[in-house]
């Protein structure tokens, strides 16, 4: 460490020590925190808090504070745009074109016949809270932090010789965003509070009123494109209605409701409570509910609300801990730490911090009863967000939930299951009307209203039919992680079955191949050189399509066995599975084919690596089959040689695939690239722009490097990077509901503790050694680095 830096760190410690003395508990805690020494000037520097439904981005400006607000149901439109376009005759025509090798024609026809084009409606910001402080000019000892241990964002500084502090958190138990402002200045603070929401193409989107001198109310309806009939590209003049209310509590200060600001004067302490209720959740009671929410909070002190928040949050967050070494750098400001990393200094602790951040963000954006985490989780400052901040199903939404089960947050996936159930329901109408088939089909993207129809301007991104097939993998995996047979019977089996019903109808028999084939197919967002030398996307079969169909069938068959079910439909599934196209084929150059043939590729480094679905998140490409395993490695090498994994989520996918390929060297390299290219100052993942999937995918990738359980046994430290020399992870979850703690030193396992929820036998594999164990229910079994059970057991 250079001398100047060391002095700076020392100075920072001293400041923090001072702050701790001055503020007691309120001082920024360095460990497990994001820490900064200047306010955020841009949104991607601000710090996120959330309770699954209600979120905020805290900028931390001393005099002109901005807290950007979000709620997860703020969407224009409704579920009333129909379910399908096109019909079974259109499908027959496209299939015939493909069989005749006329891919280009099939490409444009599929969109023309089946797609609702240009469906642009977006999740939207709830608006902003501005706090304009009077008389704060120069500040010293400024710190801004987000403590991942408590889910509280803090700002502290001194001005005019006095301390100021702010705390912001979003409480799940109380359903409220809480902001506490405090000073030891005997004259208190003077500030004006203002709520606002951006215009929608020049039109006001909210009405602001002050029903009492301590309350600001912001009421409106989400529209898009101005909601005006003559606006472009087309108006959406109806949507979710909302009622946002802010209440100020101050015992020492004076309140005065002005025209558009609420004035607070001489306050030594003030607590701001923000609630929002919407017609999506509360139907026509939403205004009453918003008013009642504030009334209910009257009996709760700040300390009570905070204590309930801490208890609720830490019960989830504390289930897992990870130490990778290099924690001395935890005291550095996070932006400086990133800079240092980019200058070439290794920092395993930064990977640990990003791992923790992914878990933090999942707790903050996905809680029981809320909508699932969208492309930006919950945090979005736009009226028209990039890609609508919606739910893309060809990797993005699934990636959001990759860390849930392995990192001990399995129940946070419930919003995903609730949502996917709704999409599958609409997918039944789509399958019936659009293709004349039973079961459920879901295309590549959807939104709050859960449509399943094709929304494609171009076949290569929109004509994909496996949104449902991929989505239901999580139901089966959730069962594997929890052993919850009630979930399997009531949620997983019906979901798997509805998608399998569609696939059974969809497959076409190929006489020449003597196999069932899926056609028309695409491979997400990628295209190939068609026979005419022109890029095309629609194909007669694709690796991913067949891999997903095979997996859905396998999982349904396995689920039926566990549940003791058997019927004619299941017999048909078993028969079609036996004669299903294998999906994973190796080409002459040793790579796995992405389509039905070895076509030329316009984009050989494409960010999607769809033909390796079976490697990750699928489970069928494993080291047990060395030729396919090596072909997967070659496929990845080829992608990377051509600039692959360039976007944030794609890099995160690569890290998971490296882990599955047991390739610690490449995993380390891709973690480095992720930090170098894809991490913003607030540690949000940059596609760019901001897309939260990369954060979640990263956290899943770190877990996958330390523990794997998809092969029927536990692989311990399967892809441990050399730089994570000594460390420990506690609380990871393996399939079978086994809690796993791992300690290692100098790259070698020193201790392994397993605790199963149910009695079971289990194989453990570490560096060429494999042992069989009987795990009793609820009792830890501890092994040493040679996989010998420690005598105290």
**Contact positions vs ligand FUC (CB under 6 A):** 375, 387, 392, 394, 396, 461, 525, 607-608, 647, 649, 687, 691
Q: Give which of 747, 767, 768, 610 is closest to 668, Cα–Cα.
A: 747
Query: Would you say 128 or 525 has its CB closer to ligand FUC?
Result: 525
Which of 783, 655, 765 lies closest to 709 in space, CA to CA? 765
Minimum CB–partner distance for residue 697 and ligand FUC (Å): 11
CB 636 within 8 A of CB 568: no
Closer residue to ligand FUC in complex, CB, 278/656? 656
Q: Which of 357, 338, 441, 329 is CA-nearest to residue 30?
A: 329
> Among residues 23 and 387, whose Cβ is nearest to ligand FUC?
387
DSSP states of 17-43: HHHHHHHGGGSPP-TTEEEESS--SSG
In three-state form (DSSP H/G/I as H, E/B as E, the rest C), the secondary structure along 620-683 is CCCCCCHHHHHHHHHHHHHHHHCCCCCCHHHHHHHHHHHHHCCCHHHHHHHHHHHHHHCECCCC
CB 142, min distance to ligand FUC, A: 35
- Min dist CB 390 to ligand FUC, Å, is 8
The CB-side HSE value for 404 (13 A sphere, CA atoms) comes to: 31
The span from the CA of 190 to the CA of 262, in Å, is 11
Least Å from the CB of residue 386 to ligand FUC: 7
Report the C-alpha gap between 625 and 639 in whole angstroms.
21
Give the chain's count of helices (H) and strands (E).
Answer: 21, 31
Rounded alpha-carbon distances, angstroms, from residue 35 to 154, 261, 295, 329 = 9, 31, 35, 11
Nearer to ligand FUC, 59 or 461 (CB): 461
Contact 130, 118 (CB under 8 A): no
* Helix, strand or coil, per DSSP, at residue 47: strand
Nearest residue (CB) to ligand FUC, 145 versus 656 = 656
Nearer to ligand FUC, 144 or 607 (CB): 607
Question: Which of 593, 517, 592 has its CA nearest to residue 550?
Answer: 517
CB of 649 or CB of 744, closer to ligand FUC: 649
Smallest distance, ligand FUC to C-beta of residue 94, A: 22
Write the CB contacts of 693 (distance below 8 Å, at least 6 apart in sequence).
Answer: 375, 395, 396, 397, 399, 400, 648, 649, 652, 685
Q: For residues 494 and 472, give the distance between their C-alpha atoms in angstroms, rounded to a whole number.
A: 10
In whole angstroms, what is the distance from residue 442 CA to residue 452 CA?
A: 5
Q: What's the min distance (Å) between Cβ of 402 and ligand FUC? A: 15
Cα distance from N-terminal residue to C-terminal residue, the chain: 44
Least Å from the CB of residue 55 to ligand FUC: 19
As measured in angstroms, the least distance from the Cβ of 676 to ligand FUC is 19
User: Minimum CB separation from ligand FUC for residue 458, in Å?
Assistant: 12
DSSP 491: I
Report in angstroms how near the CB of residue 118 gets to ligand FUC at its nearest. 16
Q: Minimal distance in Å, beta carbon 480 to ligand FUC?
A: 27
Our CB check for ligand FUC shows the closer of 225 and 649 to be 649
Coil vs helix vs strand at 707 = strand
Shortest Å, Cβ 388 to ligand FUC:
9
Toward ligand FUC, which CB reaches closer, 367 or 607?
607
CB of 650 to ligand FUC, least distance (A): 7
Looking at beta carbons only, is 356 or 392 nearer to ligand FUC?
392
CB-wise, 51 or 394, nearer to ligand FUC?
394
What span, in angstroms and rounded, lies between the C-alpha atoms of 173 and 282? 17
CA distances from 110 to 209, 460, 521, 610 (A): 50, 10, 11, 21
Provide the angle, in degrees to the nearest 10, between the axes of the packed helices 693-706 and 664-677. Answer: 160
Q: Which residue has the tokens 């991607």?
A: 44
Residue 215's H or E segment, with its range, is: strand 215-221
Contact 206, 197 (CB under 8 A): yes
Q: Least distance to ligand FUC from the beta carbon of 645, Å?
A: 12
Q: Please enumerate in sequence order all residues whose Cβ is within 8 A of that of 791, keeping only pairs 6 or more positions apart, or say none.
A: none
Cα(664)–Cα(658) distance, integer angstroms: 7
| 440 or 610: CB nearest ligand FUC | 610
Helices (H), 24-177: 88-99, 103-114
Nearer to ligand FUC, 166 or 444 (CB): 444
Nearest to 657 by CA among 524, 478, 644: 644
Which is closer to ligand FUC, CB of 188 or CB of 372? 372
Strand ranges in 346-405 using DSSP code E only, listed in sequence order: 391-392
Question: How near is the Cβ of 375 to ligand FUC at its closest, in Å?
Answer: 6
3-class secondary-structure state, position 281: helix
Q: Which is nearer to ligand FUC, 519 or 691 (CB)?
A: 691
- Bridge-based pairing of strands 445-446 and 738-745 is unpaired
Tell me how far, at minimum, the Cβ of 448 lies from ligand FUC, in Å.
16
Q: Which residue is nearest to ligand FUC (CB)?
A: 387
Q: How far is the CB of 469 from ligand FUC (least distance, A)?
A: 16
Angle CA 621–625–626, to nearest 5: 110
Burial of 779 (0-12, 13-18, 19+ CB in 10 A): exposed
**CB of 474: closest distance to ligand FUC in angstroms?**
18
CB of 78 or CB of 386, closer to ligand FUC: 386
- CA–CA separation, 103 vs 537, rounded Å? 8
Whether the Cβ atoms of residue 664 and residue 705 lie closer than 8 Å to each other: yes
Between 192 and 686, name the residue whose CB sits nearer to ligand FUC. Answer: 686
């Amino acid at each position: 460490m250079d001398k100047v830096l060391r002095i700076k760190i020392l100075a920072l410690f001293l400041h923090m020590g001072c702050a701790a003395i001055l503020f007691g508990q309120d001082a920024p805690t360095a460990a497990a925190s994001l820490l900064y020494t200047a306010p955020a000037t841009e949104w991607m520097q601000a710090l996120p808090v959330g309770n699954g439904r209600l979120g905020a981005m805290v900028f931390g400006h001393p005099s002109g504070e901005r807290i950007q607000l979000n709620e997860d149901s703020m969407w224009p439109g409704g579920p009333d745009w129909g379910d399908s376009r096109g019909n079974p005759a259109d499908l027959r025509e496209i299939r015939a074109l493909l069989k005749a090798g006329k891919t280009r024609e099939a490409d444009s026809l599929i969109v023309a016949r089946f797609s609702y084009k240009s469906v642009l409606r977006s999740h939207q910001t709830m608006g902003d809270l501005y706090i304009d402080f009077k008389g704060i000019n120069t500040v010293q000892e400024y710190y801004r932090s987000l403590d991942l241990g408590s889910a509280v964002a803090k700002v502290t500084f001194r001005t005019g010789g006095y301390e100021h502090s702010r705390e912001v958190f979003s409480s799940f138990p109380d359903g409220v965003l809480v902001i506490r402002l405090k000073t030891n200045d005997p004259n208190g603070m003077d500030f004006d509070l203002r709520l606002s929401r951006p215009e929608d193409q020049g039109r006001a989107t909210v009405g602001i009123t002050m029903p009492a001198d301590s309350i600001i109310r912001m009421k409106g309806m989400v529209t898009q494109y101005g909601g005006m009939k003559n606006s472009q590209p087309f108006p959406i003049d109806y949507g979710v209605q909302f009622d946002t209310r802010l209440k100020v509590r101050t015992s020492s200060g004076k309140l005065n409701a002005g025209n558009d600001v609420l004035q607070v004067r001489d306050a030594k302490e003030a607590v701001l409570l923000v609630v929002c209720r919407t017609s999506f959740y509360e139907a026509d009671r939403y205004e009453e509910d918003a008013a009642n929410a504030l009334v209910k909070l009257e009996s709760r002190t700040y300390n009570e609300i905070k204590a309930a928040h801490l208890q609720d949050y830490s019960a989830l967050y504390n289930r897992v801990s990870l130490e990778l070494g290099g924690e001395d750098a935890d005291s550095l400001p996070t932006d400086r730490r990133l800079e240092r990393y980019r200058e070439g200094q290794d920092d395993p602790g930064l990977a640990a911090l990003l791992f923790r951040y992914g878990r933090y963000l999942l707790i903050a954006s996905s809680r029981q009863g809320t909508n699932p985490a969208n492309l930006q989780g919950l945090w979005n400052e736009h009226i028209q967000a990039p890609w609508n901040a919606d739910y893309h199903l060809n990797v993005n939404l699934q990636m959001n939930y990759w860390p849930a089960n392995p990192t001990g947050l399995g129940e946070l996936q419930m919003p995903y299951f609730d949502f996917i159930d709704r999409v599958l329901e609409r997918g039944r109408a789509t399958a019936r009307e659009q293709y004349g088939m039973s079961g459920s089909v879901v295309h590549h993207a959807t939104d709050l209203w859960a449509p399943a129809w094709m929304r494609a301007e171009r076949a290569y991104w929109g004509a994909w039919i496996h949104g449902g097939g991929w989505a239901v993998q999580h139901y089966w995996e959730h069962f594997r992680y929890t052993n919850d047979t009630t979930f399997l019977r009531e949620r997983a089996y019906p979901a798997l079955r509805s998608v399998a019903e569609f696939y059974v109808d969809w497959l076409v028999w190929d006489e020449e191949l003597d196999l069932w084939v899926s056609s028309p197919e695409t491979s997400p967002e990628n295209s190939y050189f068609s026979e005419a030398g022109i890029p095309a996307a629609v194909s007669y079969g694709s690796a991913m399509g067949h891999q997903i169909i095979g997996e859905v069938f396998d999982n349904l068959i396995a689920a039926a066995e566990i549940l003791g079910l058997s019927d004619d439909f299941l017999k048909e599934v078993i028969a079609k599975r036996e004669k299903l196209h294998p999906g994973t084929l190796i080409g002459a150059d040793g790579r796995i084919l992405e389509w039905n043939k070895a076509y030329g590729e316009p984009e050989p480094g494409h960010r999607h690596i769809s033909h390796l679905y079976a490697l990750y998140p699928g489970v069928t490409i494993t080291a047990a089959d060395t030729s396919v395993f090596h072909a997967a490695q070659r496929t990845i090498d080829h992608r990377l040689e051509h600039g692959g994994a360039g976007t944030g989520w794609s890099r995160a996918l690569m890290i998971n695939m490296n882990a599955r390929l047991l390739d610690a060297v490449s995993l380390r390299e891709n973690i480095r690239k992720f930090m170098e290219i894809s991490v913003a100052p607030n540690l949000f993942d940059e596609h760019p722009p901001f897309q939260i999937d990369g954060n979640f995918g990263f956290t899943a990738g770190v877990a996958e490097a330390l523990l794997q359980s998809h092969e029927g046994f536990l692989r311990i430290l399967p892809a441990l990077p050399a730089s994570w020399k000594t460390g420990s992870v506690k609380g990871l979850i393996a399939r079978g509901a086994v809690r796993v703690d791992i300690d290692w030193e100098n790259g070698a396992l020193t201790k392994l503790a397993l605790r199963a929820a149910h009695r079971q036998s289990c194989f453990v594999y570490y560096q060429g050694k494999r042992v069989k164990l009987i795990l009793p229910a609820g009792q830890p079994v501890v092994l040493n680095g040679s996989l010998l059970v420690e005598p105290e057991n």
